[in-house]
Structure 1
């Protein structure tokens, strides 16, 4: 098999849970490649120029405090003299993509329960969002839910649509240059979000930061064709997820099939990476192991492996779009 021509392509990845690992795991270390696939040395080896850092909270008591811990961890990473740099505007994005060393980072919210607990006034959630923006400099996207229902709507394990609070959060995001992420919505919530945006004529970008395609692998975390087409139509992004559970539990080549399927559906300008690396050593459900196929288990080798496998099927321009250009163009556009 021919090798990817030098220089290596830069990478933008739209989702990882490094902040959860650092905030939650005793003696966590950004350099422990044996513990998390997006450790700093792996990102450097993989030529990841921009990594989106998710602030994740489960729905329940303490969700906002947990989000604040990760918010502060992001700020500490940005302030330390290490390989991470906070990217908060278009010039910094361009600079980060061109620098020979280091990884830029930008924060995102995975589950809006991190902004507002179930029984709090919604205005408290808006204030917390503003505080995250103040401390971290930017929020790239927000997913309203995780697996379960919350005050904003139904997660991917639910059939519930949008709630009144979900509509109010959308109204608040109008014109704020913060995308709404479809990766953990129920199908009903995704449809309701799109309908409310259209009905109220809201200026809100739409993405799926770390989701694959349901016709390729039938899992509720993957996108049905109708949502895929809406993201493409709205010039959004679809980040390919590396988790075996969402790719195919038996076939590592299925991730290539997801990418090819997306291209066949017209997603050439939408496809990117959303590997979804997280800490899983404390997972109790043994059926989920291994979480990733060997080829996809850490950032140092996974992106180059995929691009090498794809280079005989895709044009050089398509490879660049997948690796970084689509994500860079999207972020530059919504930050302009």
Structure 2
């Protein structure tokens, strides 16, 4: 059973330790071998610039794009998925693919031309913030809970016009609701869980989840232990509480997964790396209909891409 995972931070680790081998380096959660083991047919790789590197710079964004090109989408490796036509083709070929997202726009340095360059270089999802404020908007841990700046609003317009898709994981609630009002396209939350089940501020309220459902966006449930269970210490079966809650709100068709592998140092027991997706699929099939499980693991994500990715014919 194929899997789409909408968030991992392997590129940050590869940038920090250039000697790492993406094929099977034990320091990585996400490796080529583990993706194959877990039947992950689509992995989204986040470009995340750690504060450890100092001020976020566009050259570091470019560096991670180049690492993706040199180490991930290589001959015999993942295919690079950028266009609607390539998402259509995946149904026929079931080839393993990788995509690029930007987690926080700090590295664009307030320059929309840099956003355009990222799009031309193959980035297809843009997460507006990490946890704190930047030039575009406030993150979810910024106490003032502000919305978008004037330049951030221009960024929304540019994304809507270009085909760059928006991601609200990490965005402050005020920004979420402003984006829901301003965006002409549906957006995703690539790696967030239900706040009603686990009260971490990075999780989404029922009202936010309903808004995503109403626009036919997508919500990627994540495997960060302290987003899964209050106090952490989560086990694989704890994921079912979030799945069932989103389903009860009417979101079964909008649900997908975004693990956050390589962005965490402790793991949900039983979900330590992508190879464990096979066990997760087996668990879900014990409780839920096969067509629903297939949707959560892969089909819902692919349907979104086939509908909302830009077409190469218009490039």
User: TM-score when scaled to structure 2?
Assistant: 0.90
| Alpha-carbon distance between aligned partners in 1 of 2:192 and 2:63, rounded to the nearest angstrom | 26
Do structure 1's residue 322 and structure 2's residue 296 form an aligned pair? yes
| Alignment match of 2:227 (pick from 242, 246, 253) | 246
Q: 1:225 aligns to what?
A: 206
Displacement after TM superposition at 1:21 (Å): 1.4
Instruction: Name whichever of 59-68 and 142-151 sits farther off.
Output: 59-68
- Cα-to-partner distance string for 1:266-294 (whole Å, 9 max, x where unaligned): 111100110111165xxxxxxxx5x1023
Displacement after TM superposition at 1:97 (Å): 4.6
Contact kept? 1:57, 1:64, Cα under 8 Å = no
Displacement after TM superposition at 1:79 (Å): 5.6
| Alpha-carbon distance between aligned partners in 1 of 2:252 and 2:246, rounded to the nearest angstrom | 7
SS in 1 for 2:124: strand
Displacement after TM superposition at 1:134 (Å): 2.3
Q: 1:146 aligns to what?
A: 130
- Cα-to-partner distance string for 1:125-157 (whole Å, 9 max, x where unaligned): 222122222223xx3211110011111111121
Mapping for residues 70-149 of structure 1, pairs under 5 Å: 70-77=64-71, 80-99=74-93, 103-116=96-109, 122=110, 125-136=111-122, 139-149=123-133
Tell me how large the CA RMSD over aligned residues is: 1.9
Do structure 1's residue 307 and structure 2's residue 289 form an aligned pair? no
Contact kept? 1:175, 1:204, Cα under 8 Å = no
Runs of at least 5 residues in structure 2 that lack an aligned partner in the other structure: none
| Alpha-carbon distance between aligned partners in 2 of 1:130 and 1:17, rounded to the nearest angstrom | 22
Displacement after TM superposition at 1:88 (Å): 1.9
Do structure 1's residue 293 and structure 2's residue 274 form an aligned pair? no
Mapping for residues 3-22 of structure 1, pairs under 5 Å: 9-22=1-14
| Alpha-carbon distance between aligned partners in 2 of 1:140 and 1:182, rounded to the nearest angstrom | 14
| Alpha-carbon distance between aligned partners in 1 of 2:151 and 2:137, rounded to the nearest angstrom | 8
Aligned length: 303
| Alpha-carbon distance between aligned partners in 1 of 2:73 and 2:179, rounded to the nearest angstrom | 36
Do structure 1's residue 268 and structure 2's residue 261 form an aligned pair? no
- Cα-to-partner distance string for 1:142-193 (whole Å, 9 max, x where unaligned): 1110011111111121122221121111111123222211111111111121
Residues 1:250 and 1:62: Cα distance change in structure 2 (over 3 Å):
closer
- Cα-to-partner distance string for 1:102-140 (whole Å, 9 max, x where unaligned): 521111110011212xxxxx4xx222122222223xx32
| Alignment match of 1:37 (pick from 29, 38, 41) | 29
SS in 1 for 2:55: coil
| Alpha-carbon distance between aligned partners in 1 of 2:222 and 2:274, rounded to the nearest angstrom | 12
Do structure 1's residue 331 and structure 2's residue 305 form an aligned pair? yes
Runs of at least 5 residues in structure 1 that lack an aligned partner in the other structure: 1-8, 117-121, 198-202, 281-288
| Alpha-carbon distance between aligned partners in 2 of 1:79 and 1:32, rounded to the nearest angstrom | 15
Displacement after TM superposition at 1:26 (Å): 4.2
| Alignment match of 1:183 (pick from 153, 169, 177) | 169
